[in-house]
Amino acid sequence: MSVEHVNYLQPKTLQELQKGLKSLTEKSALLAGGTDLMVSIREKKPQIDTYLSLCNINEMKSITEIDGWIRIGAMVTHTEAALNNKIKTFFSALSMACDHVGSPQIRNKGTIGGNIMNANPAGDVLPCIMLFNGEFEIFNSEGSLRRISVNEFLSESGKTTLNKNELLMAIWLPIKPDKKSCFVKLGSRTEVTIAQISFCLSWKRINDEYLDIEAYIGAIDNKPLKIDEINEILGNRPFETESLDALSTFLSNKIRDIRINRKRESKLKIYEHEKLYKERAVKGVVYDAISFMKY
Amino acid sequence: MKLNFILNGENMNIDVPGERRLLDFIREDLHLTGTKEGCSVGECGACTVILNNKAIHSCMTVVGQLEGGELITIEGLEKNGELDAIQKSFIKKSAIQCGFCTSGMVMTAKALLFSNPHPTDEEIKKAISGNLCRCSGYKEIKESIKDAAYNSNKEES
Ligand SMILES: Cc1cc2nc3c(=O)[nH]c(=O)nc-3n(C[C@H](O)[C@H](O)[C@H](O)COP(=O)(O)OP(=O)(O)OC[C@H]3O[C@@H](n4cnc5c(N)ncnc54)[C@H](O)[C@@H]3O)c2cc1C
Ligand code: FES
Ligand code: FES
Low-confidence ranges of chain A (pLDDT < 70): 1-4, 265-270
pLDDT, residue A1, reads 47
Contact A160, A244 (CB under 8 A): no
pLDDT, residue B156, reads 73
User: Is the C-alpha dihedral spanning A251, A253, A254, A260 positive or negative?
Assistant: positive
Which of A10, A103, A105 minimises the CB distance to B67?
A10
Q: Which residues pair with A200 in a beta bridge?
A: A183, A216
Measured CA to CA, the distance from residue B108 to residue B131 in angstroms comes to 8
pLDDT, residue A195, reads 84
For A:7-26, CB contacts with B below 8 A are 8, 10
Residue B14 phi, psi dihedral angles, 5° rounding: -130, 150
Q: Residues with Cβ < 8 Å from A283, sequence gap 6 or more?
A: A244, A245, A248, A252
Contact A3, A27 (CB under 8 A): no
Pairing mode, if any, of strands A225-226 and A209-218?
Answer: antiparallel
Q: Tell me whether residue A222 is exposed, middle or buried, using C-beta atoms within 10 angstroms of its C-beta: 0 to 12, 13 to 18, 19 or more.
A: middle
Sheet of strand A63-66: strand arrangement: A63-66, A69-73, A166-174, A135-140, A145-148
Q: How many beta carbons lie within 10 A of that of residue A45, not counting itself?
A: 10
Measured CA to CA, the distance from residue A229 to residue A139 in angstroms comes to 36
Task: Starting from the CA of residue A80, give the closest ligand.
Answer: 1
Asked if B103 reaches chain A (Cβ–Cβ under 8 Å), the answer is no
Measured CA to CA, the distance from residue B3 to residue B24 in angstroms comes to 16
Q: Which of B33, B44, B107 to mutate to test the pocket of ligand 2 (most atoms within 8 A of CB)?
A: B44
Residue range B37-53: mean pLDDT, rounded: 98
- The interface predicted TM-score of the complex, written ipTM, equals 0.97
Q: Which residues pair with B28 in a beta bridge?
A: none
- The secondary element (H helix, E strand) that includes residue B143 is helix B138-156
Please report residues of A whose CB lies closer than 8 A to that of B48: 105
Question: Is B126 within 8 Å of A104 when comparing Cβ atoms?
Answer: yes
Count of helix runs (H) and strand runs (E) in chain B: 5, 5
Domain residue spans in chain B?
A: 2-76, 85-156
Question: Is B55 within 8 Å of A39 when comparing Cβ atoms?
Answer: no
Please report residues of B whose CB lies closer than 8 A to that of A6: 17, 19
Q: How many CA atoms lie within 13 A of B58 on its CB side?
A: 30
Q: Which residues pair with B48 in a beta bridge?
A: B57
pLDDT, residue A270, reads 66
Q: Tell me whether residue B65 is exposed, middle or buried, using C-beta atoms within 10 angstroms of its C-beta: 0 to 12, 13 to 18, 19 or more.
A: buried
Look at A50-54, A255-259, B104-108, B142-146 and tell me which has the smallest mean pLDDT: A255-259
Range list of β-strands (E), chain A: 7-9, 29-31, 50-53, 63-66, 69-73, 135-140, 145-148, 166-174, 179-186, 197-206, 209-218, 225-226
CATH architecture type of domain B85-156: Orthogonal Bundle (1.10)
Question: Is A8 within 8 Å of B48 when comparing Cβ atoms?
Answer: no
Contact A153, A218 (CB under 8 A): no
Contact B72, B3 (CB under 8 A): no
Residue range B21-47: mean pLDDT, rounded: 98
> What is the tens place of the pLDDT at every residue in A246-261?
999 999 999 999 988 8
> What is the tens place of the pLDDT at every residue in B86-98?
999 999 999 999 9
Asked if B71 reaches chain A (Cβ–Cβ under 8 Å), the answer is no
Single-letter code of the amino acid located at A103: S
Give B65 to chain A, closest Cα distance, Å. 7
Superfamily of domain B2-76: Beta-grasp domain (3.10.20.30)
- Which residue on chain B is closest to A100 by alpha carbon? B126
Q: Tell me whether residue A136 is exposed, middle or buried, using C-beta atoms within 10 angstroms of its C-beta: 0 to 12, 13 to 18, 19 or more.
A: buried
